[in-house]
C-alpha cells in the first residue's frame, strides 16, 4: 500500500458498489500500513467479524463503525483474507 487519500462523500459512493463482492485478498500480499486519511489514526486497515474495514487508534477495545460491535483488537503475525467491501 503506497498511501491513503481522503475523498469526499460523493466520490466515495460513486467509486463504491452496493453489490456484495466475493473477491478477497490476503493481507500477506499487502505491504505497508499507511495512516487513515480521514482522521489520521495510525492503523488504517482493521477488520471486523462483520467484514467491515475501518481504522484504529491502536490495540485495545474498539468499536466497529459498520455494525457497532465492540471487541479487543490486536496485532497478528498470521495471514488472513479480507473481502473487497466499503470502508
Q: What is the pLDDT of residues 22-69, one digit of tens each?
A: 788 887 887 777 788 888 888 878 888 887 888 888 899 999 998 999
Length of the chain: 87
DSSP-assigned beta bridge partners for residue 53: 47
**pLDDT for 70:** 93
Buried b (16+ CB within 10 A) or exposed e, 14-46: eeeeeeeeeeeeeeeeeeeeeebeeeebebbbb
3-state secondary structure 48-61: CCCCCEEEECCCEE
Mean pLDDT calculated for residue range 82-86: 66
Q: How confident is the model at residue 72 (pLDDT cuts 50, 70, 90)?
A: very high
Amino acid at each position: 500500500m503506497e498511501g491513503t487519500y481522503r475523498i469526499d462523500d460523493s466520490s466515495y459512493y460513486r467509486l463504491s458498489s452496493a453489490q456484495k463482492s466475493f473477491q478477497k485478498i490476503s493481507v500477506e500480499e499487502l505491504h505497508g500500513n499507511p495512516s487513515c486519511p480521514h482522521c489520521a489514526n495510525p492503523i488504517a486497515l482493521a477488520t471486523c467479524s462483520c467484514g467491515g474495514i475501518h481504522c484504529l487508534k491502536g490495540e485495545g477495545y474498539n468499536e466497529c463503525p459498520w455494525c457497532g460491535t465492540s471487541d479487543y483488537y490486536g496485532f497478528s503475525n498470521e495471514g488472513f483474507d479480507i473481502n473487497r467491501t466499503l470502508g
